[in-house]
Structure 1
Amino acid sequence: MDSELIDVSTGSGEVVLDLTRRCEAFVNGRGDGLLHVFVPHATAGVAILETGAGSDTDLLALLEDLLPRDFGWRHRHGTPGHGRDHVLPALIPPSASIPVLGGRLQLGTWQSICLVDTNVDNPDRQVRLSWLAG
């Protein structure tokens, strides 16, 4: 298996960050197989969704409703409400696998591979891209 760790900067706010182009570059020319995307962080996840048409903003708004910062989180270090960030991967898993045929991701027309990060305390992230040949 071939694997690469990429660095990602998420900035100072909650973000749904599109990783699709970096994933496409990683699988380009590899033939048939499986791309596995993994976020080695306790406060981030990987989602496949449409971006740019409001779905990414809707997801962040929904997460705020489901996991409000002002809830009485027992996990209390970091920014107030940071406990919600540690619950996020239970709803948005830290990994996704995408089939690849002929070196091309087999995503639907509007699907993108995204890092979902609500942790405003850590703007520096890593994402592991792994290739399993078919």
Structure 2
Amino acid sequence: MPIIHKILEIETESGINIYNITPQIKDFLAATQIKNGQVLVFSRHTTTALAINEDEVRLLEDIKVFLCKIAPESDRYLHNDLHLRVVPEDEPMNAHSHLMAMMLTTSEIIPVVEGQLALGTWQSILFFDLDGPRKRTVFVQVTGE
């Protein structure tokens, strides 16, 4: 059974941003010739996440507001006491981003049937950058026959 992987690179913008990466994953799947199996999508950062949901502009804004209510940037966090730990010079105060990421997930597995992602009508694979702007990577692995 073949196992094929790819690293997606995403240049993100400032703040909380949500990117629909479904087209890139569909393109990669089509290039593999795998007809039945699964796709693993894995977020490789502690302040990024994944979700399968609807890619609708107003819903995406609702999600951002919801995440900010869970972990407001203005709250006091021990992780942000940068002077109390060894950190790179450009280390951001981003405890809120770590906490938001924990409310989502780091990976999704999507079945592949007859060469297509078995997503529902309104489902998209969404990548969340909670601490941009940065260059991010997402690991994608297709397994099957």
Q: Do these two structures clear the TM 0.5 threshold for a shared fold by scoring above it?
A: yes
1:36 aligns with one of 30, 35, 40:
40
1:119 and 2:123 correspond: no
Deviates more, 1:23-32 or 1:93-102: 23-32
Structure 2 stretches lacking a partner, 5+ long: 83-90
The equivalent of 1:20 in structure 2 is 22
Secondary structure (helix, strand or coil) at the match of 2:15 reads coil
Q: Give the length in aligned residue pairs.
A: 132
Partner secondary structure for residue 119 of structure 1: strand
Runs of 5+ consecutive residues of structure 1 not aligned to the other structure:
none
Give CA deviations for 1:19-39 in whole Å, capped at 9, x if unaligned: 000011111242001000001
Root-mean-square deviation (Å): 1.4
Which residue does the alignment assign to 1:99?
111
**Structure with more of its chain in helix, by fraction:** 2
- TM-score (ref. length: structure 2): 0.85
Please identify the structure whose Cα radius of gyration is greater: 2
Percent of pairs identical after alignment?
26
Regions of 4+ moved over 2 Å: 77-80
Letter in 2 for 1:125: R
CA shift for structure 1 position 13: 2.8
Deviations 1:80-127 (A, max 9, x none): 4x101112232111110001101101111111101011102x421000
TM-score by length of 1: 0.91
State the AA in 1 paired with 2:114.
G
